[in-house]
Structure 1
Amino acid sequence: MQIQNLSEFKFEVAGFRYATSFNIAQLSDPKEEANADIKDCKPEAYAAKGIPVVPCGLVAWSLFNDTYSFARRPRRAGGIGGVEALRVIKSGISWRSERERLFGKHVYPKNFQNGSLVGGGRLDPRKPLSEQEELMVWMRTAAMPRFRKLYGRVEADLDAGETVAVAVRNSYNSYSFEGGKAVVLSTAGPLGGRNAFLGRAYLVTGMACLVLALLLTLVCLFFPMCVSRPLFRRIIARRHAINSCSWSPMI
């Protein structure tokens, strides 16, 4: 198997569920750092002396901080080959709407991870939130307890038979809540990486709609008089009244 350009490395976390604890106004507007109502961010809302934490909340506080480095061993004649490091590009991994709208260009981290209990990764206080793409990816909370997050891109072709070695710095404590972590290597297409669940969900929904449409068609073909019954007449009249507009002239 040959993997073309734009391969993606993703990390996977399972069994981690917590409340949506963040403040959108604080992330985008520097004027809202002190004025925003950040009670939903507790217990990571304020630092010492009541100074707000930016970004506040448990979602940012639990920022994933495992690090990975990758190398490949090309398959050459005789099975002998050197090891070549793979450069991981971590820019452009977030959505453009997040960089331009949700995370402000003039909002900088303040008092982040300065408490007695450190939750996860740290942020560079010299960089605005609009450039902290790892934070953007992590704060896009998943709907399910088992999810994947984009770590970076490798813009190199991987030939068939090559071996990819992954060096992991295990810093993120997932053992306290019995969570699991995994590294996923996938290719990127116009719609993103491979997602079997999404395809199955679309197929099941489409088949259900098709079966329902066929059943309704058969009902109309074999029972044409059913629409003349009072119940159906009331439904049709009510729907017509909702979709139509009526007005009365002012006197």
Structure 2
Amino acid sequence: QIDYTGTEPSSPCNKCLNVSWDSTPPCTCTINFTLEHSFESNVFMYYGLSNFYQNHRRYVKSRDDSQLNGDNSSLLNPSKECEPYRTNEDKPIAPCGAIANSMFNGMVTLLTYHLDGSVIWLCYSVLYLKHYYFCLILGTTKPVNWPKPVYMLDSEPDNNGFINEDFIVWMRTAALPTFRKLYRLIERKNNLQPTLQAGRYSLDIAYNYPVHSFDGRKRMILSTISWMGGKNPFLGIAYITVGSICFFLGVVLLIIHHKYGNRNSSADIPN
């Protein structure tokens, strides 16, 4: 994983730390890194955030499911749960609420270098939202923290609107303040070469998402799977912990049984 928060003076993204989130053009930085080992299978690219409490009660409730389902009346009259991101300049916001308003909008370009020094673009992604039936929401306005209205943000016709994959991923709130969410998938093109070969790479970042104000951190994570599935250390740690507790209690109960189990607990009843 690569941390690109930029709080360290030596970080290439430190210059973007105090730049306004809505600056045009956005501040950009590049981080070079090296993969020590090749990634043989499909590579999953995640963005990670720390100290971001998506599990706060008011934050979790700040959404309108009827609006997300495409209900026309909810588009023009969002739920009061979306306050204070329900309306802006006397126009209803679509999508409304704090969750949608804080959607991660980082833009990342993953580059690899060939042996001859040429650069190949591996993954270019921008997380934005656009409603599929944009004619229905011409009477609405964009979320406060979005740079563009919803009907101007995505050029892909099959990945638009409230069914946008990046938007769906973001709207599934995380249970813990440190989390990661799926960003992009780099698929393996053939069985003769690994998806990502060991070597030099660079990460070009458009610093759109500020986290310094709440002492948060941003990171990019590359992960892959083997024939046994993905890596999940939590289950292994949980099984070992529970098993150790059960073993310890079993030993304690065995000692108690040998020490006190042979005693005659019956009492003679006098005639």
**TM-score range, shorter-chain basis?**
0.5 to 0.7
Moved over 4 A (4+): 34-37, 88-91, 104-110, 119-122, 189-193, 209-225
Query: Are 1:86 and 2:86 matched, yes or no?
Result: no
Query: Are 1:52 and 2:92 matched, yes or no?
Result: yes
Give TM-score, length-normalised by structure 2. 0.60
Code of the residue aligned with 2:86 in structure 1: it is A
Code of the residue aligned with 2:224 in structure 1: it is T
> Residue 233 of structure 1 corresponds to which residue in structure 2?
none
- The answer to whether the Cα contact below 8 Å between 1:71 and 1:85 also exists between their aligned partners in 2 is yes
> Residue 50 of structure 2 corresponds to which residue in structure 1?
14
| Cα 1:207–1:120 shift into 2, 3 Å | farther
Q: How many residues align?
A: 207
Q: Mind listing any 5+ residue stretches in structure 1 that lack a counterpart?
A: 92-103, 229-251
Cα distance in 1 between the residues matched to 2:40 and 2:236: 22
- The answer to whether the Cα contact below 8 Å between 2:94 and 2:150 also exists between their aligned partners in 1 is no
| Cα 1:22–1:87 shift into 2, 3 Å | same
Code of the residue aligned with 1:158 in structure 2: it is L
- The answer to whether the Cα contact below 8 Å between 1:33 and 1:52 also exists between their aligned partners in 2 is no
| The one of 20, 40, 58 aligned to 1:4 | 40
Q: CA deviation at 1:140?
A: 1.2
- The answer to whether the Cα contact below 8 Å between 2:107 and 2:124 also exists between their aligned partners in 1 is no
Query: Are 1:69 and 2:69 matched, yes or no?
Result: no
Q: CA deviation at 1:205?
A: 3.3
Q: CA deviation at 1:188?
A: 3.7
> What pairs with 1:133-144 in structure 2 (closer than 5 Å)?
133-144=165-176
| Deviations, residues 181-240 of structure 1 (Å, cap 9, x unaligned) | 111111145897544344323432344355556666777787779xx9xxxxxxxxxxxx
| The one of 159, 163, 169 aligned to 2:200 | 163
> Residue 68 of structure 2 corresponds to which residue in structure 1?
27
Code of the residue aligned with 2:122 in structure 1: it is L
Cα distance in 2 between the residues matched to 1:118 and 1:44: 10
Code of the residue aligned with 2:145 in structure 1: it is V
Code of the residue aligned with 1:113 in structure 2: it is K
> What pairs with 1:146-161 in structure 2 (closer than 5 Å)?
146-156=178-188, 157-160=195-198
Q: Mind listing any 5+ residue stretches in structure 2 that lack a counterpart?
A: 1-36, 189-194, 266-271
- The answer to whether the Cα contact below 8 Å between 2:108 and 2:126 also exists between their aligned partners in 1 is no
| Cα 1:7–1:87 shift into 2, 3 Å | same
Task: Give percent identity, aligned residues only.
Answer: 27
Cα distance in 2 between the residues matched to 1:214 and 1:24: 52
Q: Which has the higher helix share?
A: 1
| The one of 120, 142, 159 aligned to 1:113 | 142
The 10-residue stretch of structure 1 (81-90 or 14-23) with the greater mean CA deviation from structure 2: 81-90
Code of the residue aligned with 2:197 in structure 1: it is D
Q: CA deviation at 1:106?
A: 6.6
Q: CA deviation at 1:138?
A: 1.1
- The answer to whether the Cα contact below 8 Å between 2:78 and 2:96 also exists between their aligned partners in 1 is no
Q: What is the root-mean-square deviation in Å for CA atoms of aligned residues? A: 3.9
Cα distance in 1 between the residues matched to 2:141 and 2:113: 40
Give TM-score, length-normalised by structure 1. 0.65
Q: Which has the higher strand share?
A: 2
| Cα 1:105–1:124 shift into 2, 3 Å | closer
Cα distance in 2 between the residues matched to 1:6 and 1:185: 10
